[in-house]
């Protein structure tokens, strides 16, 4: 065995690693940096990429159209993205970097609640505009009164009532709901809200939770079936787990209704559950067949491969709302932009249509985007819109 | 709730779970028993096996009976390169192997992310059929997996107890110096053991991908499972793997169905901790002097 | 029953390369790194940093580094007794939660909260230590891994107390004065210096030699009258208590804690820091922290590549110089000597 050459390689590798440094790209004049914090590694990567790509497409389109003209200057937008690994402390570091070093005034993300909650203590005092999707109420209801943060998709609070009401009409004989959810932040905040909504509509509710990362649900599903539930609600489950839950529920003999009230995007779920997904119902944020949505879907698939994550259209929509608000404020001052954002009710955003801000009652500040959503049904492996609900 | 129908279903599910657990843990225990290597990268190879099956079966559409072993063969062959450049520095160095192979696990996992992106995919099962026995429902795919697990266990046992190479492996496992003195070529033997172990891991990974999901991160839960099964049964013991796998599979099925998943986790982990404290060599392992 | 030295495999094995036994001779690299002048220079630089760097982000990274260094040094104490814990982040989490709950729910002052953050994990260590520390090397690693997971599951499921997965937000700064970055920087620096100093003194003293003897030859140490288990338990308690303080600092720095910050990944991180930096000297975790915190800064934008590089470095370190970077000097020396004798 020749050891020394290998050791030499080892030393040189380490030296190379130690000496490699980041090369800062030189930026052109009049560039405006837009910050993105997203989970770009680890289990939440699909969402993080969805977020980043949605914003990137919006930026690309804006730059192609000549950039953003504010107060006499034209800005080319540049996206800077940092990974928070779906972790609060990392989100704080990323926010620190974006706010203090890169000096951005706008941040999209983080994905989910822990990151958002970790970054707010940095962004709010610095008056940096932030657009998030996490469901936790404390994102808007907090010590800063959610002054500069906006939630850009429906959270459980907003869609649970309308979905439950619709379900009541669709399946008038259903009496008992079973919910299985992960015990992560989304699950723990979403399930109580949904439970309340169901109970108010006269349903009986049974719930149970599992550790994030579990893939074998048959024991839990058996447990649920022993409760004789009529409707199995997948609520806050991520597409991967939701797909498995559907597949395994059918494999274990569950014959009732399956619905997912929550979560964006349905393609990944269908891919995993295969033919067993037929007949299920799902909440989704966009209808890809609509003429207003098609250009975005086409643009996404032209630039990126793979399944489009549900967050991409959400953040594309949000980015466009922001750009319009900036134009109306005709300034880079975040307080002015924020004021314009709050006044944008009725603006026709590319994906979700007319902007409606809500939340005064639930959070103390109307920074929650309320948008139309759809219920899709899966037939023969394809999802089609069954109902359109405007809360 | 404890009706015969539910208990029957719990039993049948337990078998399904145990089968996959056993397959995953077999290679792990082989590597430990023979080379004293704690293969923290075992899950990564299972994951690679899943991707190999995805391409051979899901994309190219080769017939399943060709694709499954071929996928495992490909991964095991490629892994031989890693054996030369990484593993051989860790043979008989248990502690160093833990951390070093942890590094290998990270490297493989994130290279997979770069190559294939992080999105979760699935590999179609070889059959979608559902078997019905009275009230019990059981996917046929799980039966196939259970069958293969049983065959693999049997083959393993026969190999290590009745073939020349198997005997040589057991000799090397007991004392590698004396075995070498008797003329056993430990380098070649280690390579053979490594190949078999990774082949099993990749095969298990393919099944895992069909049953559950495929992403660069699915190796981690498989590694945890392998650990627990092998600790329960005893590191280096093949009957131990069978016992550990069955125990864990049935425990998870039973506890999860009747008491929920938090209880299932607490009890499994608690039991393993107690075992480690009072009988660390596992139920069927050899007491280390 | 002879218990072998817990970090190395017992009989001289066929493929062993460097049985990593730290010699009693202090190696040259270690000597000049720990020299009082070097330490003084580094301290002066750290104290002067806020005056030189106008960038708040640098201070933020520095604070994170200090907190991580404290945690890594506390694990180092335990590693020096020959036990590698893969559940250390769980104890850090206990300290964080105790401190957060003490200040938010009970309105206690920061100093009191920090003391509680030390006592709580130490108490738990006292309870489980005598049982767990009887286990040798690889079994201890596995048990602590599982124990850490159990603690994390408690964090997630005990929603009434810990807020479950949604954690505790609105954790206040230590006081109005320390809510500004520069004062907090000095606070964190102060904690780091004092704690690492104490650990250093401890390891250099008679107690330190006792600890090293435990690791290198437990049977012999016992015969020489060293109270093996009690020493290990006390050190374990100390290590877990100190990392609890680090957890409290983190809680009051990020102002939000949740179970995902104190999971297996973070425990692994601390172990990686100790291993890469060097397990047999206090310089190790310091160097390791710098490496692990700074490398991602260089490779930002290439997150996956970062992890791949970490993985490769881990392999290289464990395969060729298990004394870690702090012992790289030995490696250079060996290369210089040519091929002779290290097989």
Q: Are residues A273 and A337 in the same domain?
A: no
Q: Where are the alpha helices (DSSP H) in chain A?
A: 4-19, 45-64, 88-96, 113-123, 156-170, 185-200, 218-225, 239-251, 267-273, 294-303, 311-329, 334-342, 360-363
Partner-chain contact B109 C307, CB within 8 Å:
yes
Provide the β-strand partners of residue A231. Answer: A177, A257
Instruction: Residue B262: list chain A partners with CB under 8 A.
Output: 183, 209, 211
Domain that holds residue B204: 4-278
- Residue B283 within any structural domain of the chain: no
Helices A156-170 and A185-200 pack at an angle, to 10 degrees, of 40
Whether A384 and A258 map to the same domain: the answer is yes
Query: For B120, which of A213, A218, A240 is closest by C-beta distance?
Result: A240
Closest approach of B237 to chain C, Cα-based (Å):
16
Nearest to C343 among A3, A22, A89 (CB): A3
Q: What is the mean pLDDT of chain C?
A: 83
Compute the distance between CA of residue B236 and CA of residue B218 in angstroms, rounded to an integer: 24
CA-CA distance, A148 to A341, in Å (whole number)?
10
| C-beta neighbour count of A98 within 10 angstroms | 28
**Residues of chain A with confidence (pLDDT) below 70:** 1-29
Mean pLDDT of C240-256: 95
Two tokens, residue B225: 């499972």
Report the candidate in C269, C247, C246, C243 with the shortest Cα–Cα distance to residue C259: C247
Q: Return the CATH number at B222.
A: 1.10.3470
Note the pTM of the prediction, 2 decimals. Answer: 0.84
Residue B129 domain flag: yes
The enclosing H or E element of A388 equals strand A382-389
DSSP codes of every residue in C96-161? HHHHHHHHHTS---HHHHHHHHHHHHHHHHHHHHHHHTTS-HHHHHHHHHHHHHHHHHHHHH-HHH
Residues A47 and A194 placed together within one structural domain of the fold: no
**Could you list the residue range(s) of the whole structural domain that residue C162 is in?**
55-262
CB C311 to CB B91 under 8 A?
no
Query: Distance, in angstroms, between A83 CA and closest chain B CA?
Result: 14
Q: Which residues of C touch B227 (CB under 8 A)?
A: 142
What does A86-110 look like in DSSP terms, one character per residue? T-HHHHHHHHHIIIIIS--SEEE--
State the smallest CA–CA distance between residue C148 and chain B in angstroms: 10
Name which of A14, C264, A265 is nearest B217 in CA terms: C264
The yes-or-no verdict on residue C338 having pLDDT over 70 is no
Verify whether the Cβ–Cβ distance B257 to A46 is below 8 Å: no
Eight-class DSSP state of C173: P
A270 to chain B nearest CA, in Å? Answer: 10
The structure tokens listed for C260 are 């995902």
Other C-beta atoms closer than 10 Å to the C-beta of C220 total 12
Contact assessment for residue A238 and residue B86, using Cβ atoms and an 8 Å cutoff: no
Per-residue buried b or exposed e for B16-47, using 16+ beta carbons within 10 Å of the residue's own CB: bbbbbbbbbbbbbbbbbbbbbbbbbbbbbbbb
Contacts of A81 in chain C (CB under 8 A): 301
Write down the pLDDT at residue A211. 84
Say which residue the tokens 């299920």 belong to: A280
* SS3 (DSSP) at C31: helix
Nearest to C320 among A7, A41, A87 (CB): A7
Name residues whose C-beta falls within 8 Å of residue C35's C-beta, 6 or more positions apart in sequence: none
Alpha helices in chain C (DSSP H): 28-33, 36-52, 56-80, 88-104, 110-132, 137-157, 159-162, 181-204, 206-216, 218-223, 228-254, 264-277, 283-298, 303-320, 328-336
Contact B262 C157 (CB under 8 A): yes
- Neighboring chain A residues of B217 at a CB cutoff of 8 Å: 42-43
Q: What is the pLDDT of residues C61-114, one digit of tens each?
A: 899 999 999 999 999 999 999 898 999 999 999 999 999 999 999 989 999 999
From A102, which residue of chain C is nearest by alpha-carbon distance? C57
Asked whether the beta carbons of residue B262 and residue A209 sit closer than 8 angstroms, the reply is yes
Q: Say if the Cβ atoms of A143 and C298 lie within 8 Å.
A: no
Asked whether residue A11 is domain-assigned, the answer is no
Structural domains in chain A (count): 2
C-alpha count within 13 angstroms, C-beta hemisphere, residue A159: 27
CB contact under 8 A, C9 and B104: no
Rg (CA), chain C: 20
Q: Which residues of C80-106 are buried (b: 16+ CB within 10 A; e: fewer)?
A: bbbbbbbbbbbbbbbbbbbbbbbbbee
Task: Please indicate, yes or no, whether residues A240 and A381 belong to a single structural domain of this protein.
Answer: yes
A145 and A222 co-located in one domain: no
In this structure, the answer to whether residues A279 and A378 fall within a common structural domain is yes
Q: Hey, are the CB atoms on A82 and C300 less than 8 Å from each other?
A: yes
pLDDT tens-digit profile of C136-150? Answer: 877 888 889 889 999
- Among C15, C21, C288, the strongest candidate for a mutation testing the B interface, having the largest count of B CBs within 10 A, is C15
Question: Cβ contacts (< 8 Å) between A268 and chain B: which residues?
Answer: 119-120
Say if residue A83 is in the same domain as residue A146: yes
Phi, psi of B173 (to 5 degrees): -65, -35
**Which residues of chain A have a CB within 8 Å of the CB of C257?**
88
- Which residues contact residue A299 at a Cβ distance below 8 angstroms, ignoring those fewer than 6 apart? A57, A61
Residue C218 CB contacts under 8 Å (≥ 6 apart), including other chains:
C3, C5, C6, C82, C228
User: According to the model, what pLDDT value does residue C189 have?
Assistant: 94
Q: Is position C161 within any domain? A: yes
**How many separate domains does chain C show?**
1
Which residue has tokens 């982040």? Answer: C89
Q: Is the ipTM of this complex over 0.90?
A: no
CB B197 within 8 A of CB B28: yes
On whether both A54 and A189 belong to a single domain, the answer is no
Helix axes B261-278, B219-233, angle to 10 degrees: 50
Phi-psi map region of B128: left, alpha, beta (phi>0 left; psi -120 to 50 alpha): alpha
Residue B286 lies in a domain: no
Same domain, A88 and A40: yes
CB contact under 8 A, C142 and B231: yes
Q: What is the 3-state secondary structure (H, E, C) of chain B?
A: CCCHHHHHHHHHHHHHHHHHHHHHHHHHHHHHHHHCCCCCCHHHHHHHHHHHHHHHHHHCCCCHHHHHHHHHHHHHHHHHHHHHHCHHHCCCCHHHHHHHHHHHHHHHHHHHHHHHCCCCECCCCCCCCEEEECCEEEEHHHHHHHHHHHHHHHHHHHHHHHCHHHHHHHHHHHCHHHHHHCCCCHHHHHHHHHHHHHHHHHHHHHHHHHHCCECCCCHHHHHHHHHHHHHHHCCCCHHHHHHHHHHHHHHHHHHHHHHCHHHHHHHHHHHHHHHHHHCCCCCCCCCCC
The answer as to whether A86 is a domain residue is yes
Q: Say if B142 falls within a structural domain.
A: yes
A45/B117 Cβ within 8 A: yes
Picking from C57, C49, C42, the residue whose alpha carbon sits closest to that of residue C300 is: C57
Among chain B residues, the shortest Cα distance to A306 is held by: B119
A337 phi and psi angles, rounded to 5 deg: -65, -40
Residues of chain A numbered 245-304 and touching chain B (CB < 8 Å): 251-253, 268, 271-272, 274-276
Same domain, A250 and A380: yes
Print the domain residue range for A182: 156-284+374-389
Residue A339 lies in a domain: yes
Q: Does C54 touch chain A (CB under 8 A)?
A: no
Buried b (16+ CB within 10 A) or exposed e, A155-173: bbbbbbbbbbebbeeeeee
> How far is Cα A174 from Cα A170, in angstroms, rounded to an integer?
9
Nearest CA in chain A to C56: A100
Asked if the C-beta of A210 comes within 8 angstroms of chain B's C-beta atoms, the answer is yes
* Nearest residue of C to residue A134, measured between CA atoms: C166
Instruction: State residue B130 phi and psi, 5-degree precision.
Output: -115, 130
| Residue numbers in C near B102 (CB within 8 A) | 268, 272, 311, 314
CATH, residue A254 = 3.40.50.2300
Q: Are the C-beta atoms of A290 and A313 separated by less than 8 Å? A: no
Q: Which two tokens stand for residue C224?
A: 């020489």
Cβ-based contacts of C172 with chain A (< 8 Å): none
Number of A/B CB contacts below 8 angstroms equals: 98
B86/C315 CB distance under 8 A: yes
pLDDT at position C340, please?
41
User: Strands A176-182, A106-108: parallel, antiparallel or unpaired by DSSP?
Assistant: unpaired
Question: Nearest Cβ partner of A268 from B120, B128, B265?
Answer: B120
Residue A27: its pLDDT value, please? 39
B103, B116, B176: which to substitute to probe chain C, counting the most C Cβ within 10 Å? B103
Task: Decide: A206 and A179 in contact? Cβ < 8 Å.
Answer: yes
Per-residue pLDDT of C3-29, as tens digits, reads 444 444 444 444 444 444 544 444 555
**CB proximity B261 to A under 8 Å:** yes
Chain C neighbours (≥3 Cβ pairs under 8 A) are A, B
Same domain, A249 and A380: yes
Span C291-316, pLDDT tens digits: 888 877 777 767 778 888 888 988 88
Q: What is the pLDDT of residue C2?
A: 42
Residues with pLDDT less than 50, chain B: 289
| Residues making up chain C, counted from first to last | 343
Please check whether residue A7 lies inside any domain of the structure: no
Output the pLDDT for position C117. 96
Q: Give C176's contacts (C-beta < 8 A, 6+ positions apart).
A: none
Q: What is the pLDDT of residue B182?
A: 84
Q: Do C319 and B96 touch (CB under 8 A)?
A: yes
Facing residues of A284 across strands?
A374
Pick from C57, C170, C331: which is nearest to A100 by CB?
C57
CB–CB contact B102 C314 (8 Å): yes
In a domain, C2, yes or no: no
Q: List the structure tokens of B72.
A: 């495992």
Residue in A closest to B253 by C-alpha: A219
Question: How many whole angstroms separate alpha carbon C94 and alpha carbon C152?
Answer: 9
3-class state of residue C14 by DSSP: coil
How many structural domains are present in chain B? 1
**C 163-192 → A contacts, CB under 8 A:** 164-167, 169-170
> What is the C-alpha separation between B216 and B218, in angstroms, rounded?
6
Out of A45, A219, A274, closest to residue B118 by CB: A45
| Partner residue facing B94 (CB), from C131, C138, C310 | C138
Is C298 inside any structural domain? Answer: no
Q: Which of A7, A50, A31 is nearest to A316 (CA)?
A: A50
């Amino acid at each position: 065995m020749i050891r020394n050459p290998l050791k030499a390689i080892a030393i040189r590798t380490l030296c190379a690693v130690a000496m490699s440094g980041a090369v800062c790209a030189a930026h052109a004049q009049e560039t405006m940096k837009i910050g993105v914090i997203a989970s770009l590694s680890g289990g939440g990567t699909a969402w993080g990429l969805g977020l980043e790509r949605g914003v990137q497409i919006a930026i690309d389109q804006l730059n192609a159209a000549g950039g953003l003209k504010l107060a006499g200057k034209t800005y080319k937008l540049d996206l800077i993205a940092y990974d928070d690994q779906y972790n609060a402390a990392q989100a704080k570091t990323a926010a620190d970097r974006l706010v203090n070093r890169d000096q951005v005034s706008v941040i999209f993300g983080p994905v989910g609640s822990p990151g958002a909650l970790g970054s707010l203590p940095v962004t709010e005092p610095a008056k940096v505009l932030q657009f998030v999707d996490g469901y936790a109420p404390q994102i808007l209801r907090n010590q800063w009164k959610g002054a500069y943060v906006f939630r850009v998709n429906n959270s459980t609070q907003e869609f649970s009532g309308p979905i439950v009401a619709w379900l009541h009409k669709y399946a008038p004989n259903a009496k008992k709901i079973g919910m299985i959810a992960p015990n992560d932040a989304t699950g723990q905040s979403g399930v109580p809200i949904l439970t309340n909504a169901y109970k108010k509509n006269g349903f009986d509710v049974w719930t149970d939770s599992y550790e994030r990362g579990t893939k074998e649900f048959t024991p839990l599903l058996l447990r649920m079936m022993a409760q004789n539930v009529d409707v199995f609600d997948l609520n806050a489950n991520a597409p991967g787990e939701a797909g498995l839950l559907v597949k395994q529920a059918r494999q274990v003999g569950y014959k009732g209704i399956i619905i997912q009230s929550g979560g964006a995007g349905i393609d990944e779920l269908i891919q995993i559950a295969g033919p067993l997904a037929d007949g299920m119902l799902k909440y989704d944020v966009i209808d890809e067949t609509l003429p207003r949505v098609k250009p975005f879907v086409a643009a996404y698939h032209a630039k990126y491969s793979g399944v489009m994550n549900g967050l991409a259209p959400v953040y594309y929509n949000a980015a466009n709302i922001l750009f319009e608000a900036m134009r109306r404020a005709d300034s880079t001052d975040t307080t002015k932009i924020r004021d314009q954002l709050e006044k944008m009710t009725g603006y026709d955003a590319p994906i979700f249509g007319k902007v409606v801000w809500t939340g005064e009652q639930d959070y103390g500040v109307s920074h929650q985007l309320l948008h139309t959503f759809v219920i899709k049904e899966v037939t023969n492996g394809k999802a089609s819109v069954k109902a359109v609900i405007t809360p | 709730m404890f009706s015969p129908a539910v208990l029957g279903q719990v039993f049948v599910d337990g078998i399904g779970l145990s089968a996959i657990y056993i397959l995953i843990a077999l290679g792990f225990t082989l590597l430990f028993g023979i080379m004293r290597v704690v293969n923290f990268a075992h899950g990564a190879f299972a994951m690679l096996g899943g991707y190999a099956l995805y391409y051979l079966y899901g994309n190219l559409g080769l017939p399943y009976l060709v694709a499954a072993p071929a996928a495992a063969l490909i991964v095991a062959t490629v892994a031989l390169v890693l054996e030369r450049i990484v593993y051989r520095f860790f043979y008989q160095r248990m502690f160093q192997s833990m951390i070093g192979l942890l590094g290998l696990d990270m490297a493989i996992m994130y290279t997979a992310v770069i190559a294939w992106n992080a999105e979760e995919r699935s590999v179609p099962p070889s059959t979608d059929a559902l078997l019905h026995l009275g009230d019990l429902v059981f996917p046929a795919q799980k039966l196939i997996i259970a069958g293969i697990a049983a065959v693999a266990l049997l083959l393993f046992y026969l190999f290590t107890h009745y073939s020349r190479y198997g005997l040589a492996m057991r000799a090397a496992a007991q004392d590698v110096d004396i075995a070498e003195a008797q003329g056993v070529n430990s380098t070649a033997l280690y390579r053979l053991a490594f190949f078999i172990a990774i082949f099993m891991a990749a095969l298990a990974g393919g099944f895992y991908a069909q049953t559950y999901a495929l992403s660069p991160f699915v190796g981690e839960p498989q590694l945890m499972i392998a650990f627990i099964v092998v600790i329960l049964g005893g590191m280096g013991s093949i009957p131990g793997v069978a016992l550990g796998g069955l125990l864990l599979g049935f425990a998870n099925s039973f506890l999860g169905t009747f008491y929920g998943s938090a209880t299932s986790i607490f009890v499994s982990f608690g039991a393993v901790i107690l075992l480690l404290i009072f009988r660390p060599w596992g139920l069927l392992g050899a007491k280390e002097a | 029953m002879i218990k072998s030295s817990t970090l190395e495999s017992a009989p001289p094995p066929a493929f062993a390369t460097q049985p990593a036994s730290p010699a009693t001779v202090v190696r040259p690299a270690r000597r000049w790194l720990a020299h009082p002048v070097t330490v003084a220079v580094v301290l002066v630089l750290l104290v002067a940093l806020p005056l030189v760097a106008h960038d708040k982000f640098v201070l933020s990274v520095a604070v994170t580094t200090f907190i991580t260094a404290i945690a890594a040094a506390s694990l180092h104490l335990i590693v020096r007794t020959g036990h590698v814990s893969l559940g250390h982040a769980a104890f850090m989490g206990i300290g964080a939660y105790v401190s957060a709950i003490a200040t938010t729910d009970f309105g206690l002052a920061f100093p009191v909260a920090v003391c509680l953050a030390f006592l709580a994990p130490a108490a738990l260590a006292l309870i489980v230590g005598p049982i767990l520390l009887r286990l040798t090397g690889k079994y201890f690693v596995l048990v602590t891994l599982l124990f850490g997971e159990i603690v994390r599951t408690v964090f997630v499921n005990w929603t009434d107390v810990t807020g479950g997965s949604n954690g505790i937000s609105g954790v206040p700064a230590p006081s109005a004065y320390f809510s500004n970055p520069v004062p907090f920087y000095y606070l964190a620096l102060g904690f780091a210096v004092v704690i690492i100093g104490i650990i250093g003194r401890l390891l250099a003293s008679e107690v330190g030699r006792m600890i090293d003897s435990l690791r290198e030859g437990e049977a012999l140490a016992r015969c020489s009258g060293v109270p093996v288990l009690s020493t290990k338990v006390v050190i374990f308690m100390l290590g877990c208590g100190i990392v609890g303080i680090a957890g409290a600092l983190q809680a009051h720095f990020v102002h939000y804690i949740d179970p995902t910050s104190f999971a297996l990944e973070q425990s692994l991180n601390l172990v990686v820091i100790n291993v890469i930096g060097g397990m047999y000297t206090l310089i190790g975790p310091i160097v390791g922290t710098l490496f692990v915190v700074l490398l991602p800064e260089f490779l930002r934008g290439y997150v996956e590549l970062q992890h791949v590089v970490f993985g490769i470095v881990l392999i290289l370190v464990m395969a060729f110089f298990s004394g870690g970077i702090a012992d790289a000097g030995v490696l250079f020396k060996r290369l210089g000597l040519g091929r002779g004798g290290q097989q």
